[in-house]
Amino acid sequence: MKHNFITHLSFLLFFVINVSNSYAQEKQKFTISGYVKDAANGETSIGANVYIKELLKGGSTNQYGFYSITVEKGTYHLVVSYIGYTDFVKEIILDKNIRLNIELKNTTINVKEVEVSSEKTDKNVSSTAVGSVKLDMEEIKKIPAFLGEVDILKTIQLLPGVKAAGDGNTGFYVRGGGPDQNLILLDEAVVYNASHLFGFFSVFNGDAVKSVNLIKGGMPAEYGGRLASVLDISMKEGNNKQYHAEGGIGLISSRLTVQGPIKKDTGSFIISVRRTYIDALVKPFAKSGSTLKSSGYYFYDLNAKVNYRLSDKDRIFASGYFGRDVMNFNDKSSQFKLNVAWGNATGVVRWNHLFNDKLFMNVSAIFSDYKFSFGAEQSGFEFKLFSGIRDWNGKVDFSYFPTIRHQIKFGANYVFHTFTPSSVSAKQGETQFDFGKIKRDKAHEAAVYLSDDFDVTDKLRIHAGLRYSYFMQIGPFDRYLKDPITGQTTSIIHYTSNQKVKDYGGLEPRLTARYSLNSKSSIKASYTYNLQYLHLASLSAVTLPTDTWVPCSELVKPQRGTQYSLGYFRNFKENVYETSVEIYYKELKNQIEYKDGSLPAAAVNDNADNQFTYGKGQAYGAEFFVKKRLGKFNGWVGYTLSYTKRTFPDLNNGQTFYAKYDRRHDVSIVLSYDLNKKWTFSTVWVYGTGNAITIPVAYYFVDGNFVTQYGDRNAFRMPAYHRLDISATLTPDRKKHLDRKMERLTKRYERQGKDVSKIVVPKKWAKNYESSWSFSVFNVYNRHNPYIVYFSSTGSLATGDYRAKAKQVYLFPILPSVTWNFKF
Amino acid sequence: MQKIILLFIIPLTMLVGCTEDVNLSVVGSERKIVIEGRIENGKVAEVIVTRNSPLSEKVDYSKILVTDAKVFVSDGTITEPLAFVIDSAASIPFIYKGATIIGIPGQTYYLTVVADGKTFTAITTIPAPIKLDSVWWKADPPQDTLGFAWAHLSDPAGVGNAYKWYAKRPTKDRRFIAPFSSTFDDKFIDGKSFDFAYNRGTDPTVDPNITKKEPENERGYFKKTDTIYIKFCAIDNSSAKFYTAYETALQSNGNPFASPTTIISNIKGGGLGIWAGFGVTYDTIMPTK
């Protein structure tokens, strides 16, 4: 502990001295700062590279598109580069502080080939970010989509180190971490369950999303509260130049997005809605009174955002998300009714303020909510179960750009959590069953952080960060103390409202270093230590919306994660090819699992954590990545070799076992080919070692029945998962189409003997209108990938034909789909 | 309660899932001894000793039955060896049965089994029997001659009571049969006085060809004309845990979404199964006129 403290202290000192040193050297320096935006729609560009060509030094725009560079007086060339945009280059005479807002022009696909950015611009090699990937929506939209729905979560699962849990699972796994260890942010608001329809779709509507940034190692200090990764998703702000509508009509869902200026170049809005209609399509064909007629499934979601520039220094944003999944099941014959609904809601209000050319501030007030409810009814018996989590979050973040060498961030964050553990109410006729009062667990979570991204030498760049986080569970709370042998409640400790139940806190140091070998290659290393105060308890073999979030308590200690990673990054052929090899080693402490023999039950007259048992985890692996970024033919190949282990004293006789998502081999190949302006083709192939599961090994007699005896935990492997998807996008050439129409119109005029010069062109022809068709085939070779493997017994002991058979459930056969997208 | 996830999932699989048989190479388990022993108030101890049947093998009764075990029961004062006998009222008609020691509520009993060269031990206590206030038959509308067995229970105050229900139609059933979810505790009903009902369980040892002959609409029901014997047992915590998990395991057989249910045994020495003390009371429902 003492040793730890000294390490942290010296780390901080180093950091502070270095920053103050750079002040001392300061001479006649001036600052150029401003915002980087898209010229066509005014959307700010996140993470664009801004640098001084002469110095080959610079930084990047922050979350709000702001940059600031301070250098000695002089004449320079300022270069701004951003994927998918033409480089912006401008000569600047820096003899005073300059404010320069930059608008970048979108490059078309065909121009991309010649538009090779200069060496310096390549972030793959030059940034300190290790294990970090930024994806732009254009790239995501090209990849074959399941049933035509563009999906961010599915796309990131194609990256090395990120594993899909398989069809129909809501979670994803990053470098051996659990699905609860991913921090998923939508405009800074935490999204607790990022999936619709049991993971078949993600909650993020591609039309409303601007950028996606995934951090799987070397997590910067401004992020915290999760061990494995950050998925930071920014919503579009809305076109602040002109009104636009776009949407798509697909086989199972449709979507519509409307955006436009509130005041040109000053404020804008965007609204995006989406709904599935499997239920509406099926119902007319169902017999009246049948189960199908009164059952159904649908989800919908809504994204909305407005922003307004109050002055050159102040800008406000308000954004929100609301989505629900609803499933109804009504079986008339057994009088069994079921209603299940779940979903997220988030709301964020942000204020950007520029104190001066070097200091940028953002203040956010964030609301985040996840709810799950389940209701069932059969012959007079009514049953309801619900659970959820709700956060109120206040946040202030500063970006400070003292010199060209430093980019400092600091801030503070406070969250008030309210957890509703699985709560139950039930009644039989008039009799209400006693499930106690509904519990809500409450907790405070807070953090402060400081980080600096700085050039130590021309070759060495370091990101050093320190975060202190604190968590306190508060009352009202009842602690049920259990007899360790009988499991019976021996006493109850009652905590009153706001009374402290238990608190935890700790320092989380983060360090990342990049050493440039030359302009084409670099070595990066990182060390991160994270604390996580929330756990997701999952009893089933698959991740489901029923999984509940539980806070730290006296029994549940904070999850602790330490990650070391090392990577070699090299670009080839003028940055056309990006390659990397990364290795990582990770240790996880205070992991939770349900005790052996636990059954799903409500936390009634009990605490959910009484059912948990605790252990540790270990994960290591190597990730290989080759990406062709530019050209007609582009895409990537990723391969991950990994090991994920868990050790729990009370599970598997204390022997180490593989986590269920341990995956020895994981391959993703993503290729896309732009044939011409009209046609784009793409394909995805994925392969993953089967999940580790626990299976029966024997049967035995109890009371005349044969019951199952399970083998070692996760000792069996499901068959491997692999799948090929293809897609083709047809974008009809509207100009050609209109020309042809014009030709026909001219001919008609001529036939009718009218004056051709007096042709009245229909107004709608002049409209800027685009449409495209997206055809895709999911699971081309119809692989039956196992969703679940289970054993079922048939026959009777009396007749002696009793036997057990392995069965597997697979979800998706080959699935073709077509979607029509439009934009005007 | 344990059905929540199952209920939730069934419609999902109906919506999208496809199920098929697969051939998997499964490694079988080593042979283990299974002990199913009980001692009831007023009765001698009964113990069934079997071996498990590895999944990779066909069920072979000659390998499952253990006929040469040494079984001893002690009440702390005297110890008696149990004799291997044939008993047609047991689930498997080959059992080890006591003669001298008769179960008394509140008394602790010690079991020792020596089989396949290993020694297994277990301890249990017979809880105080809790009598049902009343029992009756009631039709399940819209039927008027088919119904369930009902009972009224007053649970003693204080959490920790657990129960197991059995029923038998004297002329039709070979033995007392536990229906599904026959084990329950007083977690939600502590100190309450209430009515509850059970359907008629199916004896797994009866040839399914015989069970199939019964009209489908009568399955699970008691008839208005049935005499029903109710055996209502107070059980201790480890027995309740065992039987609850056992029932969950039965229900999850063939359920793709069930998580592995570990049936926690109170047998020490590496065996499977249970040594349970039952505080039993009996009631009879006579045919309603």
pLDDT of residue B8: 45
Query: Quick one: which of A723, A824, A701, A691 has its CA closest to A767?
Result: A824
- Tell me if B55 and A699 make a contact (CB, 8 A cut-off): yes
**Segment A775-788, tens digit of pLDDT:** 989 899 999 888 77
Amino acid at position A379, single letter: S
Angle (CA) B252-B253-B258 rounded to 5° is 35
Asked if pLDDT for residue A2 goes beyond 50, the answer is no
Check if the beta carbon of residue A477 is closer than 8 Å to that of residue A556.
no
Mean pLDDT, all residues of chain B: 86
Amino acid at position A763, single letter: K
**Segment A557-598, tens digit of pLDDT:** 999 999 999 999 998 888 789 899 999 999 999 998 887 766
Interface contact A498, partner B, CB < 8 A: no
Mean pLDDT of A167-187: 85
**Segment A541-557, tens digit of pLDDT:** 555 666 778 889 888 99
Distance CA A74, CA A82 (A): 25
The answer to whether the bond into B142 is cis (omega within 30° of 0) is yes
Interface contact A429, partner B, CB < 8 A: no
Residue with tokens 């039965």: B250
- List the single residue in B2, B53, B194 with the smallest CB-CB distance to A699: B53
Run of H or E including A745: helix A734-751
**Segment A24-51, tens digit of pLDDT:** 454 688 999 999 998 888 888 888 888 8
Distance CA A84, CA B122 (A): 72
Minimal-distance CA residue of chain B relative to A198: B12
What is the number of other CB atoms lying within 10 angstroms of the CB of residue A648? 22
Asked if pLDDT for residue A148 goes beyond 90, the answer is no
Interface contact B65, partner A, CB < 8 A: no
How far does the CA of residue B101 sit from the closest CA of chain A (Å)? 23
pLDDT of residue A13: 43
List the single best residue of B3, B7, B120, B216 to mutate versus A (max A Cβ within 10 A).
B7
Check if the beta carbon of residue B35 is closer than 8 Å to that of residue B49.
yes
Cα–Cα distance list, A323 to A191, A303, A424 (Å): 11, 9, 24
- List the single residue in B36, B55, B259 with the smallest CB-CB distance to A696: B55
Maximum average pLDDT range among A103-107, A612-616, A619-623, A717-721: A619-623
- List the single residue in A546, A699, A704 with the smallest CB-CB distance to B91: A704
Q: Which residues pair with A502 in a beta bridge?
A: A473
Residue B165 CB burial class (10 angstroms; 0-12, 13-18, ≥19): buried
Q: How confident is the model at residue A361 (pLDDT cuts 50, 70, 90)?
A: very high
pLDDT of residue A290: 63
Bridging pattern class, strands A521-532 and A559-572: antiparallel
**Segment B36-66, tens digit of pLDDT:** 999 999 999 999 999 998 877 777 888 889 9
- Tell me if A540 and B203 make a contact (CB, 8 A cut-off): no
pLDDT of residue A135: 80
- Tell me if B22 and A696 make a contact (CB, 8 A cut-off): no
Interface contact B251, partner A, CB < 8 A: no
Mean pLDDT of A379-388: 79
Cα–Cα distance list, A563 to A105, A219, B129 (Å): 39, 10, 57
The string of DSSP codes covering A66-88 is EEEEEEESEEEEEEEE-TTBPPE
Asked if pLDDT for residue A761 goes beyond 70, the answer is yes
Asked if pLDDT for residue A144 goes beyond 50, the answer is yes
Asked if pLDDT for residue A166 goes beyond 90, the answer is no
- Tell me if B257 and A788 make a contact (CB, 8 A cut-off): yes
- Tell me if B241 and A376 make a contact (CB, 8 A cut-off): no
pLDDT of residue A661: 84
pLDDT of residue A766: 65
- Which spans in A130-216 are helix H? 137-142, 152-156
In the 8-state DSSP scheme, what is residue A4? H
**Segment A298-355, tens digit of pLDDT:** 889 999 999 999 998 999 999 999 999 888 877 766 677 778 888 999 999 999 999 9
Which of residues 93 through 152 in chain B touch A, CB cutoff 8 A? Answer: none
Minimal-distance CA residue of chain B relative to A606: B187
Q: How confident is the model at residue B209 (pLDDT cuts 50, 70, 90)?
A: confident
Residue with tokens 């960060």: A465
Amino acid at position A420, single letter: T
Minimal-distance CA residue of chain A relative to B65: A701
Interface contact A421, partner B, CB < 8 A: no
Q: Which has the higher per-residue pLDDT, A267 or A195?
A: A267
Lowest mean pLDDT among A376-385, A710-719, B92-101: A376-385
Asked if pLDDT for residue A230 goes beyond 90, the answer is yes
Interface contact A792, partner B, CB < 8 A: yes
Interface contact B191, partner A, CB < 8 A: no
Maximum average pLDDT range among A110-124, A165-179, A360-374: A360-374
Q: Which has the higher per-residue pLDDT, A99 or B2?
A: A99
Residue with tokens 């071996």: B51
pLDDT of residue B166: 96
Query: Quick one: which of A425, A491, A422 has its CA closest to B188?
Result: A425
Run of H or E including B115: strand B108-115
- Tell me if B91 and A329 make a contact (CB, 8 A cut-off): no
pLDDT of residue A21: 47
pLDDT of residue A368: 95
pLDDT of residue A114: 35
CB contacts of B261 in chain A (<8 Å) are 597, 599, 708, 710
Distance CA B130, CA B193 (A): 13
Check if the beta carbon of residue B177 is closer than 8 Å to that of residue B166.
yes
Check if the beta carbon of residue A423 is closer than 8 Å to that of residue A372.
no
Q: What is the ipTM of this complex?
A: 0.88
- List the single residue in B204, B241, B262 with the smallest CB-CB distance to A705: B204
pLDDT of residue B9: 46
Lowest mean pLDDT among A83-87, A212-216, B136-140: A83-87
Q: For chain B, how are helix, strand and coil distributed in percent, rounded to 5?
A: 15, 40, 45
Query: Quick one: which of A374, A89, A793 has its CA closest to B9?
Result: A374
The string of DSSP codes covering B207-268 is -HHHHHHS-GGGTT-EETT--EEEEEEEE-HHHHHHHHHHHHHHHHTT-TTPPPPP-----B
Mean pLDDT, all residues of chain A: 84
Q: Which residues pair with A98 in a beta bridge?
A: A32
**Chain A with chain B: Cβ pairs closer than 8 A:** 224
How far does the CA of residue B273 sit from the closest CA of chain A (Å)? 7
Asked if pLDDT for residue B88 goes beyond 70, the answer is yes
- Tell me if A605 and B159 make a contact (CB, 8 A cut-off): yes
Minimal-distance CA residue of chain A relative to B273: A702
**Segment A591-634, tens digit of pLDDT:** 988 877 665 555 566 787 888 889 999 999 999 999 988 788 88
Check if the beta carbon of residue A6 is closer than 8 Å to that of residue A14.
no
Q: Which residues contact B121 (CB under 8 A, 6 or more apart)?
A: B110, B111, B112, B113, B267, B268, B269
Q: How confident is the model at residue B91 (pLDDT cuts 50, 70, 90)?
A: confident
pLDDT of residue B129: 95
The string of DSSP codes covering A165-214 is --TT---EEETT--GGGEEEEETTEE-S--EEGGGTEES--GGGEEEEEE
pLDDT of residue B29: 65
pLDDT > 70 fraction of chain A, expressed in percent and rounded: 85
Mean pLDDT of A241-257: 88
Mean pLDDT of A534-538: 82
- List the single residue in B1, B11, B244 with the smallest CB-CB distance to A327: B11
Mean pLDDT of A86-103: 90
pLDDT of residue A540: 60
In the 8-state DSSP scheme, what is residue A285? G
- Tell me if A799 and B209 make a contact (CB, 8 A cut-off): yes
Mean pLDDT of A804-818: 81
pLDDT of residue B69: 94
pLDDT of residue A6: 44
CB contacts of A805 in chain B (<8 Å) are 21
Lookup: tokens for A400: 């400070």
Mean pLDDT of B16-22: 68
pLDDT of residue B14: 47
Q: Which has the higher per-residue pLDDT, A29 or A790?
A: A29
pLDDT of residue A445: 96
CB contacts of A807 in chain B (<8 Å) are 19-22, 254, 256
**Segment A687-706, tens digit of pLDDT:** 999 888 888 888 888 988 88
- List the single residue in A488, A697, A790 with the smallest CB-CB distance to B28: A697
Q: How confident is the model at residue A291 (pLDDT cuts 50, 70, 90)?
A: low
Residue A806: helix, strand or coil by DSSP? strand
Distance CA A273, CA A291 (A): 29
Asked if pLDDT for residue B271 goes beyond 70, the answer is yes
Lookup: tokens for A105: 């022009």
Mean pLDDT of B265-277: 93
- Tell me if A488 and B7 make a contact (CB, 8 A cut-off): no
Check if the beta carbon of residue A188 is closer than 8 Å to that of residue A144.
no
**Segment B167-201, tens digit of pLDDT:** 999 988 989 999 988 998 887 778 888 888 898 98
pLDDT of residue B142: 82
List the single best residue of A196, A335, A700 to mutate versus B (max B Cβ within 10 A).
A700
- Tell me if B17 and A698 make a contact (CB, 8 A cut-off): no
- Tell me if A805 and B17 make a contact (CB, 8 A cut-off): no
Mean pLDDT of A193-209: 83
pLDDT of residue A17: 43
pLDDT of residue A3: 47
- List the single residue in A488, A786, A811 with the smallest CB-CB distance to B16: A811
Interface contact B207, partner A, CB < 8 A: yes
Check if the beta carbon of residue B195 is closer than 8 Å to that of residue B208.
no
Minimal-distance CA residue of chain A relative to B28: A697
Residue with tokens 């008691």: B222
Asked if pLDDT for residue A146 goes beyond 50, the answer is yes
Mean pLDDT of A409-417: 96
